[in-house]
Structure 1
Amino acid sequence: MKPEQVDAYLQRLGVARPAWPTVDVLRELHLRHLQTVPFENLSIHLGEEIVLEEQRLLDKVVAEHRGGFCYELNGAFGALLTALGFEVTLLAGRVRIDEERLGIPYDHLALRVRTVDGGDWLADVGFGAHSHYPLEFGDRGEQPDPGGTFRIVEAAPDAAGVRGGHEVAVAADLEVSRDGSPEYRVEVRPRVLDDFVAGAWWHSTSPRSHFTRSLVCSRVREDGGRITLGGRRLTETAPGGGREERELDGDEEVLAVYRERFGIVLDRVPVVRKSAWGG
């Protein structure tokens, strides 16, 4: 990243350039990213290609003031952290569908981040409703967070570790849970951005992907609650659990909410597109 790109990214987050890549800096950047850069899948339904190249991700998140889903958000955030002096490793994850099943390989992208003063952390600004702050990578106990109580534990081998009729060692994989429910399994093997191209293509084209079947735009509110626009339904959740929902009336109101509540300026309302696979 060029210095001017770093400055522009930090300006979007509302954060001054830090002196050192410390834990406190990582925590601040993580929360501000969740508050200012929405988790959204609008590109899929606007006919925009998902391009997993660092420059394109920075253009989208910084110059175009957009959000994205895991590959884009964590990809861009990882580039920023690296430019600020953090040691960043891309990790591949598989989202937990139910007790028996995991999502496709390279289903999710998360970050392992090393700071100068506090070891390794699992940073994830691309999972939607998740932890507000990075999780301590080596801590196997409960980790309280405004987003819930999280745990990172070693994953036991299961059906997901069987390939071609042979068991494959998966003991090094980690399971991330929230409030007692597993959310995703993450490998500890380092990856590169190109590794996730097939997963991003599948999620943006397959009729089996929830991203192709619905619209979502969501971020953490400044008070710790959450605001989500799903199609034309606006949902706001308070930190204590209170919830308000309403249907927006007309395209102009939808575009105004994207603009005023998420900072996304669109020239038309996105609508769910029919899958290229006929779904």
Structure 2
Amino acid sequence: MDVDAYLDRLGVGWPAAADLATLRLLQERHLTAVPFENLSIHLGEPIELDEEALFDKVVRRRRGGFCYELNGLFAALLRELGYRVSLRAAQVFRPDGTLGPPLDHAAVVVELDEPWLVEVGFGRFARHPLRLSGVDAQADPEGEFLVLDAPHGDVDIVLNGKPQYRLERRPRPLADFVPMAWWQATSPLSNFTRSLTCSRPTSQGRVTLSDERLIETVDGVRHELRLTSPEALRTAYRVYFGMTLTRLPVPPGESPLTSTAARPETAVNVP
């Protein structure tokens, strides 16, 4: 791995030590620099859980990705920097409180003086590492987190009283997630095939491009703008997410012939 290029993508220099302070900085910078996005699914691009392919996508092509891609590649970077790292599988809680399938999510655990949960691939989540052995509430810019015991030695990660996912204790190689990544990218039951999103936190909140809606939250105030032309969408991807797209993803439920990318352009200004 070209560690210098990856660190440059994050806007940081080579760290002096593989410690908690550096881990915290790397997580924060990764979240703000590399968007959580599922564009590949709607561009017809394969999801390849291979370190070289992920590096090419995230670092060379300056794209983002979803959990298996972002956390998988970030784990590889942390190993190169001297951290003891493992991937862990998780089941994501649905809105109704039931659990999704096994290996629904891939998370990163770093062993320092104690285990820390590091997350750069779950959309809105902790901006800082979380103590997995912590019994008290942990404050974070995104809210208050709890780590609770769950059946079979697993742990539940809870944000502001709402369970987010159930984390396994068992380490997993990235290859274990390949079948579920394929399902997430192809099944009509997957949230990723039914939605189109690109999102990252900012210093004042969060910015998200969901289908044709540009949503920016600043100091708790939500602003929404509908982008009605291909040029406006390309500009938004470039300005807000640093991505230059030669073609646009097709929103769920639309065909390439009727999607925004094929419609005549109208004037929409994006700063």
After TM superposition, the score normalised by the length of structure 1 is: 0.88
In structure 2, the residue matched to 1:183 is: 164
In the TM superposition, 1:21-60 aligns within 5 A as 21-60=18-57
Report the Cα distance in structure 2 between the residues aligned to 1:120 and 1:108, rounded to whole angstroms.
Answer: 18
Q: Secondary structure at the match of 1:253?
A: helix
Q: Secondary structure at the match of 2:7?
A: helix
Following the alignment from structure 1 to structure 2, what is the Cα–Cα distance between the partners of residues 91 and 189?
A: 6
Partner of 2:243: 264
> In the alignment, what sits opposite 2:186?
205
Aligned pairs (5 A) from 1:123-202:
123-155=118-150, 157=151, 170=152, 172-202=153-183
Whole-Å Cα distance in 1 between the matches of residues 248 and 97 of structure 2?
A: 37
| 2: CA distance, partners of 1:33 / 1:174 | 25
1:12-58: CA deviation from partner (whole Å, max 9, x where unpaired): 10111002101000000000000000000000000000011111111
Please tell me whether the aligned partners of residues 145 and 157 of structure 2 are also in contact (alpha carbons under 8 angstroms). Answer: yes
2:86 equivalent among 79, 89, 96: 89
Query: Which of 199, 208, 229 is equivalent to 1:228?
Result: 208
Runs of 4 or more off by more than 3 Å in structure 1?
Answer: none
Amino acid at match of 2:55: L
Query: Distance between the aligned counterparts of 2:106 and 2:68, measured in 1?
Result: 6
Q: CA RMSD in A?
A: 1.3
Contact preservation (8 Å) 1:90, 1:110: yes
> Which residue in 1 is equivalent to 2:220?
241
Would you say 1:254 and 2:251 are equivalent positions?
no
For structure 2, list consecutive stretches of 5 or more residues without a partner in the other structure: 255-271
Q: What displacement does 1:268 show?
A: 1.5
Q: Which amino acid aligns with 1:251?
A: P
SS at structure 2 position matched to 1:75? helix
The SS at the match of 1:246 is strand
Q: Which residue of 2 aligns with 1:19?
A: 16
Gap change, CA 1:224 and 1:122, over 3 Å in 2: farther
Whole-angstrom distance in 2 between the partners of 1:88 and 1:145: 22
Contact 2:48 2:54 in 1 (8 A): yes
Q: Distance in 1 between matches of 2:214 and 2:252?
A: 20
SS at structure 2 position matched to 1:212: coil
Q: How many residues align?
A: 254
Q: In the alignment, is the contact (CA less than 8 A) between 1:146 and 1:224 conserved in 2?
A: no
Contact 2:204 2:217 in 1 (8 A): no
Normalising to structure 2: TM-score of the pair?
0.91
- 2:263 corresponds to: none
SS at match of 1:190: strand
Q: Report what 1:161 is aligned to.
A: none
Q: Secondary structure at the match of 2:82?
A: coil
The AA in structure 1 aligned to 2:19 is T
C-alpha contact (below 8 Å) 1:212/1:272 kept by paired residues? no
Q: Distance in 2 between matches of 1:100 and 1:245?
A: 29
What residue identity is the alignment partner of 1:236? Answer: E
Distance 2:248 2:93 in 1: 31
- What amino acid does structure 2 have at the position aligned with 1:184? Y
- Does 2:107 align with 1:110? yes
